[in-house]
Chain A
Amino acid sequence: MTATAPTYPSVVPTEAPALLLDGITKTYRSKAGAVDALRGVTYHFARGSFTAVMGPSGSGKSTLLQCAAGLDQPTSGTVVLGGTKLNGLNEVTLTKLRREEMGFVFQAYNLLPSLTVHDNVALPLRLTGRRPRRADVHRVLEQVGLEGKAKRRPAELSGGQQQRVAIARALITRPSVFFADEPTGALDSGTSRQILGLLREATDRAGQTVVIVTHDPVAAAYAERVLFLSDGLLAGHLDRGTPSQIAAAMSDLER
């Protein structure tokens, strides 16, 4: 582990951050009582960075991702995405921001079962009212290696192929930030590598920002920086770690 300092400067401090979290807290209230899932997280994600978030189960990783993407409102603190403050935006503005600036890939249930692969990929464009060009859809499908499967439905694809469709769908709008929550959680290592390679390419080639949550040190090693989350607080980070270094840091954290 290289650093455990309480402040986390962005990797490329010269540019305005793509995503800025400032003092995020999140408390879930339910009949069973209140849970502090996040207890004050401040971090700047630099433009074009690939960041992995790791931590024990229940440490607040998914909550962090959801608050950062404006899917959930933090209890306090501000989120700024590409210069737009997300707090207090209305649902429609937030939706438009989401479909233009963000891409999502999750562990499962990423696709609409009733639509073909082509239609799933074209959906975000259709929702903005644009008529998707066949060539554009074809291009992104080619990028993820699924050019022959445009007419299939999700049920006719393997898990890894479905994840690649989800990535193609996220790519087509050229979002500035990708959010992925355990995108390889249910895949074998070969397929995982393919998915992570695609995300890596997005940052390297197009300068897009990627934030992924993962349990897998091999997956985390694709990122230039790994953030460790513990009990709703950032507990440290590791830059350009190898899988074994990351695994060691994780087991330190879980002790």
Chain B
Amino acid sequence: MFYLSRQTVSRHRSLYAGSFVALAVGVFLLGLAATATAATIAYRGPLADSITVTTLGGNDTAPTQVRVPTSAADTSGLQVVLSMVGTISGFITIFVIASTFAFAVASRRREIGLLRLVGATPRQVRRMILGEAFVVALVAALTGAVLAELATPLLLRKASYTELAPVKLEPASPWVPLAIAVGIGLLVAMLGARSAARRAGRVGPIDALREAALEPPRIGPVRIVFGLLFMAGSITLLTLIRPSTGEGVMPLAMFTPMLLVIALTLLAPLVVPWISRLWALPLTAWTRVSGSLARSNVVAAPRRSASLAAPILAISAVAGSMVLSLSFAADSAEATIRDSLRAPIVVTGDAKLDASLGTVDAGVPLQFVRIDQDSAELEDAEGIDPAIAARTRNLTPLSGDLDKLTGNTVAISKEMSSLEHYKIGDEVPVTFLDKTAAKLRIVAIVPDAFGVTPSFLIPLELAHKYAPTAEPERRFILPAPGVDVLGTVDSAVPAADWEAAQAEGVRKGNQFGLIMLLGPAAFYSAIAIANTLLMGSLQRRHEFITSRLLGATPAQIRRMVLWESSLVGAVALSLGTAITVTVGILIRHAMTSGMADVAVTVPWGVLLGIAGLCLTLAVGSALAPTTYILRRSQPSAAVE
């Protein structure tokens, strides 16, 4: 059947152009992620800047030696982001390939029926479709790999000396990473083509004789069951987005929308017609005929409309909830910073401070390697004078006693204690950067104060002893009565200004992560949206020409397509909005419970931008081929 696959692909080039572009871009992103990862692995930081420690072992894990890099010259941040970019690309590729191949099969029903008629078995038909997928995938994957290889030096130049990889990265040997990317691309394409192939195998020889069969009206019970299962799973996860879940709410807020999208995509043929009817109410009232035609087209072909809506729904829901969640997280971080700091004045420079100014909380920042059963990690800590710090910041212990912070002791944040299951009295093995090892006994658990106080607090003497060169980076001041600190010390600022600057830093960091994560996904989704709508319109050549024959003007047909694609876009965006709002409300509640006066920052610009972009893309890519078809063909072509 392979020879047949090759022939049909070259014949149906336009039908497969979508799959080709989608997969080439997917493999391009995968390949870039892979070559860049290879470059980070090939990068060897200076050996002096690391500490080798032995993990504790236990619970079936043997103690092992790990090298913990201590300089900032570390590329693990970039590696994490790259692996996420790779995962997202692979995941979306399956969806895009599945939908483009489903389209290709649906529009060739008659041809497949003919094949069956002249003696192809269902198995041969399946193999033919898979063969077509393979031909397209192979060419696309190789193209993507070549593009990735060409773009790698550019990416590495951009990524070098950034927050994620503050070093110079050089391209490593591309063969292995690109082979992996091509392999994954092929695998993913074949997975995506499987359901289309199975559907093609079910086409009977009799389909060759019937008029282009309308799609089967009902969706399969299996699809409904899976849709409901995903729905139930997402709702369960949604109920977990509550205050008691603690730090887990943020991953939940990012992961649940994806599940919801899958659930809604599966159930879309049931859901889409209803929402379309709602949206069509104003449309049919305002327009004369094009609006109601558009409505019937969307409602009567629920499967088609659903697959057109799917990519818009996916990106709007995922991006929308991510943007909103991160913004609300920043709001809550801002409130935490505000609530954690009691001192009215902060000195950020290294000005000499006279003791007569008031109480000065000059904590010393330092780092140590914390050793676990199976890992070791570099942690931020601060050496404090507990008597003073307890007055300038909110350090009232949730349990334990801060007064006992003397000698080899440590106070940890609530987050750290719940993350690592530490209790009062536990001993934490650490190695300071001067390579001395110590065991620190936990004496208190204090509230989280991200941005003000790190997760580990040790006595000031201990910090001076093991990090003698460390200097305070900022000092919190409780002025003595009648002293004007702001007027006398240059680098002194009101606490509110400092808090605002810290919060701004959090938002900036979020933004950077968002661009790194969503950038490729958004780019890819844009292609997917354009892809499906373009193919959707191209498929309707015959219908458009017949309408022309019946007396519809080109303008009328264009208006119909305009309304149709807007309707599909509106339906998808309203579902995406529903998901975004639900997740937003839940995460806001989870993150701000117990806090007062938390600002509400809704990034309207970004959210509306996403919606606008989706809609423009959808309408544009439906209209462009329509205009092209109408210009290229006369009504008489309908008779051919």
By a beta-carbon cutoff of 8 Å, the part of chain A in contact with chain B is 62, 66, 71-72, 91-92, 95-96, 98-100, 104, 106, 109-115, 119, 123-124, 126-128, 169, 173, 181
Contact = CB atoms under 8 A, between A and B. Distances in A.
A71 B115 contact: no
A124 B10 CA distance: 21
Contacts of A96: 119, 121
Given A104-B118, A119-B7, A71 B205 contact: yes
B116 interface: yes
Interface string B98-127: 000000000000110011111111111000
Nearest to B123: A92
Contact of B121 (A66, A92, A115, A169): A92
A127 B115 CA distance: 9
Given A98-B119, A104-B118, 7 more contacts: A91-B122, A96-B121, A99-B118, A99-B119, A126-B4, A127-B119, A127-B124
Interface string B126-147: 0000000000000000000000
A71 B117 contact: yes
B206 A123 contact: no
A96 B124 CA distance: 12
Contact of B205 (A92, A98, A111): A98
A109 to B, nearest CB: 6
Q: Which 6 A-B pairs have the closest CB atoms?
A: A99-B119, A114-B11, A127-B119, A114-B8, A71-B206, A95-B121
Contacts of A173: 119
B486 interface: no
A106 B11 CA distance: 23
A114 B205 CA distance: 18
Contacts of A113: 11, 111
Contacts of B117: 71, 98, 104
Contacts of A126: 3-4
Most B CB within 10 A of own CB, among A98, A124, A128: A98
Nearest to A98: B119
A165 to B, nearest CB: 12
A99 B111 CA distance: 16
Contacts of B115: 112, 123, 127
Residue in A66, A95, A100 with the greatest tally of chain B CB atoms within 10 Å = A95
Nearest to B201: A91
13 contacts: A72-B206, A95-B119, A98-B117, A99-B119, A106-B208, A109-B208, A110-B114, A112-B114, A113-B111, A114-B11, A123-B115, A124-B118, A128-B119
Interface string B34-70: 0000000000000000000000000000000000000
Nearest to B12: A114
A109 B205 contact: no
B209 A115 contact: no
Nearest to B117: A104
A115 B3 CA distance: 10
B11 A127 contact: no
Nearest to B209: A106
A128 B110 CA distance: 21
Nearest to A181: B209
Contacts of A95: 116, 119-122, 205
B554 interface: no
Contacts of B10: 114
A98 B119 CA distance: 6
A124 B209 contact: no
A82 to B, nearest CB: 16
Contacts of A110: 114
Given A113-B11, A114-B7, A92 B122 contact: yes
Nearest to B202: A91
Contacts of B208: 106, 109
B204 interface: yes
A115 B206 CA distance: 21
A116 to B, nearest CB: 9
Contacts of B110: 109
A127 B120 contact: yes
A112 B206 contact: no
